[in-house]
A and B are shown apart, each in its own frame.
Chain A
Amino acid sequence: MDLDYNIEGGDFTHAGEASSHLKKILKSLNLDSGLIRRTVVSMYEAEVNVVAHAWSGDIHVNIRPDQIHITITDSGPGIPDLELAMQKGYSTASPAVREMGFGAGMGLPNIKENSDFMDITSKPGSGTIMKIVNQIKR
Protein backbone atom coordinates (compact mmCIF):
# COMPACT_ATOMS: atom_id res chain seq x y z
CA MET A 1 0.00 0.00 0.00
CA ASP A 2 1.29 3.47 -0.89
CA LEU A 3 0.36 6.77 0.73
CA ASP A 4 1.51 10.27 -0.23
CA TYR A 5 1.34 13.51 1.74
CA ASN A 6 2.38 17.10 1.03
CA ILE A 7 3.68 19.34 3.79
CA GLU A 8 3.78 23.12 3.75
CA GLY A 9 6.75 24.76 5.47
CA GLY A 10 5.68 26.99 8.37
CA ASP A 11 2.16 25.54 8.54
CA PHE A 12 2.03 24.48 12.19
CA THR A 13 -1.77 24.43 12.19
CA HIS A 14 -1.77 21.28 10.05
CA ALA A 15 1.45 19.75 11.38
CA GLY A 16 0.82 16.17 12.39
CA GLU A 17 -2.18 15.55 10.13
CA ALA A 18 -0.21 13.19 7.87
CA SER A 19 0.96 11.22 10.91
CA SER A 20 -2.58 11.09 12.32
CA HIS A 21 -3.86 9.78 8.97
CA LEU A 22 -1.11 7.14 8.85
CA LYS A 23 -2.03 6.07 12.39
CA LYS A 24 -5.63 5.44 11.33
CA ILE A 25 -4.46 3.39 8.32
CA LEU A 26 -2.02 1.31 10.41
CA LYS A 27 -4.75 0.72 13.02
CA SER A 28 -7.11 -0.48 10.30
CA LEU A 29 -4.44 -3.01 9.29
CA ASN A 30 -4.52 -4.39 12.86
CA LEU A 31 -0.80 -3.87 13.39
CA ASP A 32 0.75 -4.01 16.86
CA SER A 33 -0.06 -0.83 18.81
CA GLY A 34 3.57 -0.39 19.92
CA LEU A 35 4.76 -0.57 16.31
CA ILE A 36 2.07 1.93 15.30
CA ARG A 37 3.15 4.39 18.02
CA ARG A 38 6.85 4.10 17.16
CA THR A 39 6.09 4.62 13.49
CA VAL A 40 3.85 7.64 13.93
CA VAL A 41 6.23 9.24 16.47
CA SER A 42 9.02 8.97 13.87
CA MET A 43 6.85 10.36 11.13
CA TYR A 44 5.48 13.18 13.32
CA GLU A 45 8.97 14.36 14.23
CA ALA A 46 10.01 14.26 10.57
CA GLU A 47 6.84 16.12 9.61
CA VAL A 48 7.49 18.84 12.20
CA ASN A 49 11.09 19.16 10.99
CA VAL A 50 9.83 19.97 7.49
CA VAL A 51 7.27 22.47 8.86
CA ALA A 52 9.88 24.11 11.12
CA HIS A 53 12.85 24.20 8.77
CA ALA A 54 11.89 23.67 5.10
CA TRP A 55 9.70 25.43 2.56
CA SER A 56 7.82 22.34 1.51
CA GLY A 57 8.08 18.58 1.59
CA ASP A 58 6.61 15.29 0.45
CA ILE A 59 6.12 12.14 2.45
CA HIS A 60 5.84 8.78 0.75
CA VAL A 61 4.76 5.80 2.84
CA ASN A 62 5.08 2.27 1.49
CA ILE A 63 3.48 -0.44 3.65
CA ARG A 64 4.81 -3.90 2.81
CA PRO A 65 3.87 -7.20 4.45
CA ASP A 66 7.04 -7.13 6.56
CA GLN A 67 8.12 -3.47 6.68
CA ILE A 68 6.87 0.12 6.72
CA HIS A 69 9.02 2.46 4.61
CA ILE A 70 8.69 6.24 5.04
CA THR A 71 10.58 8.68 2.81
CA ILE A 72 10.46 12.40 3.56
CA THR A 73 11.87 14.67 0.86
CA ASP A 74 12.00 18.39 1.46
CA SER A 75 12.91 21.58 -0.33
CA GLY A 76 14.78 23.33 2.42
CA PRO A 77 18.11 24.70 3.51
CA GLY A 78 19.59 21.24 4.16
CA ILE A 79 21.61 20.16 7.19
CA PRO A 80 25.25 21.33 7.09
CA ASP A 81 26.50 19.09 9.91
CA LEU A 82 24.52 15.87 10.34
CA GLU A 83 26.51 14.63 13.31
CA LEU A 84 25.81 17.85 15.19
CA ALA A 85 22.11 17.76 14.20
CA MET A 86 21.79 14.26 15.65
CA GLN A 87 23.04 15.38 19.07
CA LYS A 88 20.37 15.60 21.75
CA GLY A 89 19.64 19.23 22.57
CA TYR A 90 21.13 20.72 19.39
CA SER A 91 18.65 22.79 17.41
CA THR A 92 18.60 25.60 14.87
CA ALA A 93 14.87 26.31 15.34
CA SER A 94 13.68 29.91 15.55
CA PRO A 95 12.62 31.45 18.89
CA ALA A 96 8.97 31.44 17.71
CA VAL A 97 9.14 27.69 17.01
CA ARG A 98 10.79 27.06 20.39
CA GLU A 99 8.04 28.98 22.21
CA MET A 100 5.56 26.43 20.90
CA GLY A 101 7.56 23.67 22.56
CA PHE A 102 9.32 22.50 19.42
CA GLY A 103 13.01 22.90 18.59
CA ALA A 104 14.40 21.36 21.75
CA GLY A 105 16.86 19.24 19.80
CA MET A 106 14.97 16.04 20.52
CA GLY A 107 13.27 15.37 17.19
CA LEU A 108 16.03 13.52 15.33
CA PRO A 109 17.06 11.46 18.40
CA ASN A 110 13.37 10.56 18.84
CA ILE A 111 13.21 9.34 15.23
CA LYS A 112 16.32 7.24 15.74
CA GLU A 113 14.90 5.67 18.91
CA ASN A 114 11.53 4.95 17.33
CA SER A 115 12.71 3.42 14.07
CA ASP A 116 14.56 0.25 13.11
CA PHE A 117 16.43 2.04 10.32
CA MET A 118 16.99 5.74 9.71
CA ASP A 119 19.05 7.45 7.06
CA ILE A 120 19.49 11.14 6.25
CA THR A 121 20.95 12.51 3.04
CA SER A 122 21.36 16.25 3.00
CA LYS A 123 23.32 18.93 1.21
CA PRO A 124 23.15 22.57 2.26
CA GLY A 125 21.04 24.42 -0.27
CA SER A 126 19.46 21.36 -1.86
CA GLY A 127 17.16 19.95 0.82
CA THR A 128 17.04 16.80 2.87
CA ILE A 129 15.89 13.24 2.25
CA MET A 130 15.10 11.10 5.27
CA LYS A 131 14.34 7.39 5.13
CA ILE A 132 12.72 5.53 8.01
CA VAL A 133 12.01 1.80 8.07
CA ASN A 134 10.16 -0.15 10.76
CA GLN A 135 9.86 -3.92 10.79
CA ILE A 136 6.47 -5.56 11.07
CA LYS A 137 6.78 -8.60 13.33
CA ARG A 138 3.92 -11.02 13.03
Chain B
Amino acid sequence: MKVAELIEKLNLTVFESGENMNRELTGGYASDLLSDVMGKTKPDMVWITLQSHVNIIAVASLKDLAAIIIVHGQVPPSEVIEKACAEGITLLGTESDTFLTAAKVYQCLFSDGTGTR
Protein backbone atom coordinates (compact mmCIF):
# COMPACT_ATOMS: atom_id res chain seq x y z
CA MET B 1 0.00 0.00 0.00
CA LYS B 2 1.18 3.48 -0.86
CA VAL B 3 1.47 6.29 1.71
CA ALA B 4 -1.27 8.27 -0.07
CA GLU B 5 -3.67 5.30 0.17
CA LEU B 6 -2.96 4.89 3.89
CA ILE B 7 -3.72 8.58 4.44
CA GLU B 8 -7.09 8.15 2.75
CA LYS B 9 -7.99 4.87 4.49
CA LEU B 10 -7.13 6.12 8.01
CA ASN B 11 -8.28 9.69 7.36
CA LEU B 12 -4.91 11.04 8.51
CA THR B 13 -4.06 14.73 8.83
CA VAL B 14 -1.31 15.80 6.45
CA PHE B 15 1.00 18.32 8.15
CA GLU B 16 3.57 18.00 5.37
CA SER B 17 3.21 15.90 2.25
CA GLY B 18 6.95 15.32 1.82
CA GLU B 19 8.65 14.49 -1.42
CA ASN B 20 6.93 11.21 -2.25
CA MET B 21 3.52 10.00 -1.10
CA ASN B 22 3.60 7.22 -3.68
CA ARG B 23 6.17 5.24 -1.72
CA GLU B 24 5.14 1.64 -1.21
CA LEU B 25 5.03 0.88 2.54
CA THR B 26 7.03 -2.13 3.73
CA GLY B 27 5.69 -2.17 7.29
CA GLY B 28 5.28 -0.07 10.39
CA TYR B 29 6.96 0.61 13.71
CA ALA B 30 5.50 2.08 16.91
CA SER B 31 7.94 3.57 19.41
CA ASP B 32 8.69 6.80 21.26
CA LEU B 33 12.36 6.01 21.87
CA LEU B 34 14.44 7.54 19.10
CA SER B 35 17.35 5.12 19.40
CA ASP B 36 14.92 2.21 19.23
CA VAL B 37 13.61 3.59 15.94
CA MET B 38 17.16 4.24 14.73
CA GLY B 39 18.15 0.70 15.56
CA LYS B 40 15.16 -1.33 14.45
CA THR B 41 13.29 0.28 11.56
CA LYS B 42 13.73 -0.62 7.93
CA PRO B 43 13.43 1.65 4.88
CA ASP B 44 9.92 2.63 3.73
CA MET B 45 8.26 1.83 7.05
CA VAL B 46 5.67 4.16 8.59
CA TRP B 47 6.61 5.27 12.13
CA ILE B 48 3.88 5.82 14.75
CA THR B 49 4.87 8.00 17.73
CA LEU B 50 3.68 10.56 20.26
CA GLN B 51 6.93 12.49 19.95
CA SER B 52 6.41 15.68 17.95
CA HIS B 53 9.70 17.54 18.38
CA VAL B 54 12.14 18.39 15.61
CA ASN B 55 14.47 15.41 16.11
CA ILE B 56 11.90 12.93 14.76
CA ILE B 57 12.49 14.41 11.28
CA ALA B 58 16.22 13.62 11.34
CA VAL B 59 15.50 10.05 12.48
CA ALA B 60 12.95 9.50 9.69
CA SER B 61 15.27 11.03 7.13
CA LEU B 62 18.38 9.08 8.16
CA LYS B 63 16.45 5.78 8.22
CA ASP B 64 14.63 6.43 4.89
CA LEU B 65 11.23 6.01 6.57
CA ALA B 66 8.21 6.58 4.35
CA ALA B 67 6.19 8.66 6.83
CA ILE B 68 5.66 9.63 10.47
CA ILE B 69 2.22 9.47 12.13
CA ILE B 70 1.92 11.61 15.28
CA VAL B 71 -0.81 10.29 17.59
CA HIS B 72 -3.25 11.83 20.12
CA GLY B 73 -4.17 14.73 17.84
CA GLN B 74 -0.96 16.56 18.63
CA VAL B 75 0.00 19.30 16.23
CA PRO B 76 3.77 19.57 15.72
CA PRO B 77 5.36 23.04 16.13
CA SER B 78 5.84 25.01 12.91
CA GLU B 79 9.63 24.47 12.94
CA VAL B 80 9.04 20.71 12.86
CA ILE B 81 6.77 21.02 9.82
CA GLU B 82 9.31 23.30 8.14
CA LYS B 83 12.07 20.76 8.81
CA ALA B 84 9.90 17.96 7.39
CA CYS B 85 9.38 20.06 4.28
CA ALA B 86 13.13 20.75 3.95
CA GLU B 87 14.00 17.06 4.36
CA GLY B 88 11.13 15.79 2.18
CA ILE B 89 9.54 13.80 5.02
CA THR B 90 5.82 12.98 4.98
CA LEU B 91 4.45 14.12 8.36
CA LEU B 92 0.99 12.90 9.34
CA GLY B 93 -1.32 12.99 12.35
CA THR B 94 -4.26 11.17 13.90
CA GLU B 95 -6.61 11.73 16.84
CA SER B 96 -6.25 8.05 17.65
CA ASP B 97 -3.73 6.49 20.06
CA THR B 98 -0.64 4.41 19.26
CA PHE B 99 -2.26 1.00 19.82
CA LEU B 100 -5.28 1.63 17.62
CA THR B 101 -3.21 3.35 14.95
CA ALA B 102 -0.75 0.47 14.81
CA ALA B 103 -3.64 -2.00 14.58
CA LYS B 104 -5.26 -0.07 11.72
CA VAL B 105 -1.94 0.28 9.85
CA TYR B 106 -1.32 -3.44 10.27
CA GLN B 107 -4.78 -4.21 8.92
CA CYS B 108 -4.21 -2.00 5.90
CA LEU B 109 -0.77 -3.40 5.09
CA PHE B 110 -1.20 -7.04 6.01
CA SER B 111 -4.94 -7.71 5.87
CA ASP B 112 -4.32 -11.27 4.75
CA GLY B 113 -2.56 -11.92 8.07
CA THR B 114 0.66 -13.02 6.44
CA GLY B 115 2.54 -9.80 6.98
CA THR B 116 5.99 -9.82 8.41
CA ARG B 117 8.36 -7.03 9.16
Count chain B residues whose beta carbon lies closer than 8 angstroms to a beta carbon of A.
21
* Interface residue? B2 (CB, 8 A): no
Residues of B with C-beta under 8 A to A31:
none
Number of A-B contacts (CB under 8 A): 69
In the assembled complex, the Cα of A48 lies from the Cα of B58 at a distance in Å of 11
A67 to chain B, nearest CB (A): 20
**Contact B58 A101, beta carbon cutoff 8 Å:** no
**Set of chain A residues within 8 Å of B63, measured between Cβ atoms:** 37, 41
Contact A106 B43 (CB under 8 A): no
Q: Which A residues are in CB contact (< 8 Å) with B36?
A: 104, 106
Q: Which residues on the B side are within 8 Å of A126 (C-beta)?
A: none
Note all chain A residues with C-beta closer than 8 A to B35: 45, 48, 101-102, 104, 106-107, 110
- State whether the Cβ of A119 lies closer than 8 Å to any Cβ in chain B: no
Interface: B87 (CB within 8 A) = yes
**Among A13, A20, A23, A110, contact of B38 (Cβ-Cβ < 8 Å):** A110
